[in-house]
Amino acid sequence: MKPSTSKDERFWDKLAVKYAATPVADEAAYQQKLEMTREYFTPESRVFEFGCGTGSTAIAHAPHVKHIVASDISGEMIAIAEQKAIAAEAHNVLFVRADLAELEDRQNEYDVVMGHSILHLLPDPQAAMARVYRMLKPGGVFISSTACLEEMGFWKLLLPVAKALGKAPHVNVFSREGLISDMTEKGFELVHQWQPKKGAAVFLVARKPKA
């Protein structure tokens, strides 16, 4: 695991319990994203999620698909996710502690890959997009929700200071246009985009073309 990833792992391990107890900031927008995501599921869908945190999204989708593998670099996050899955009887969800790069051998395997609130936190988001592309079956979709901090001038200025003080992880500053451009450069076709309000995370659905 790269040093920067290891540092971020420790950051999220320390935050896990507080993160799990914190309500979703915009519940209505979150529920809308769940509904839009399910439009791309079938009962036979095989789904992968990276940056799954404490597993809420994977568990919410479990009744609608055949199987979900959900990963996160934080062992503490994964431990909480596993307990939540047991409580919810979500037997078709497998949580794994892993960096996306460690799962690169899973090519053409998934119908849907999800990455919510994670691309802006990765050391190399473009490499992650390329890995997701390879993991998807032809015709599969990458569904993501990403904070585009280029639209949030205050946070853009504050983040370097917060990171230097150990109060923030690595963060990439995206614009919505730049994020979409990065995805299309990796071969994806944009299917849908949605932003509930200015400054909110951008929800994107991008398809890997059929062979």
Domain-wise residue ranges, the chain: 3-207
Q: Would you give the DSSP letter of residue 198? A: T
Q: Which of 187, 189, 141 is nearest to 45 (CA)?
A: 141
| Residue 13 in this model has a pLDDT that exceeds 80 | yes
The residue written with tokens 């960096």 in the block is 99
Write down the pLDDT at residue 173. 72
* 113 neighbors 50 (Cβ within 8 angstroms): yes
Q: Which of 63, 127, 113 is nearest to 90 (CA)?
A: 63
CATH of span 3-207: 3.40.50.150
pLDDT in tens, 34-72: 999 999 999 999 999 999 999 999 999 999 999 999 999
Q: Evaluate if pTM is beyond 0.75.
A: yes
Write down the pLDDT at residue 7. 73
Cα distances from 94 to residues 18, 29, 133, in angstroms, run 23, 26, 21
Beta bridge partners of 145: 116, 203
**For residue 26, how far is the Cα from the chain centroid?**
17
Half-sphere exposure of 164 (CA within 13 A, CB side): 5
pLDDT in tens, 87-139: 999 999 999 999 998 887 789 999 999 999 999 888 899 999 999 999 999 99
In the predicted model, what is the mean pLDDT of residues 150-163?
47
Beta bridge partners of 190: 206
Question: Over the chain, what is the mean pLDDT?
Answer: 87
- The identity of residue 101, as a single letter, is A
Q: How far apart are the first and last CA of the chain?
A: 33
196: helix, coil or strand? coil
Pairing state between β 202-207 and 136-146:
antiparallel
H/E element, 127: helix 125-135
Query: What dihedral angle (degrees, nearest 10) is formed by the CA atoms of 123, 128, 131, 135?
Result: 130
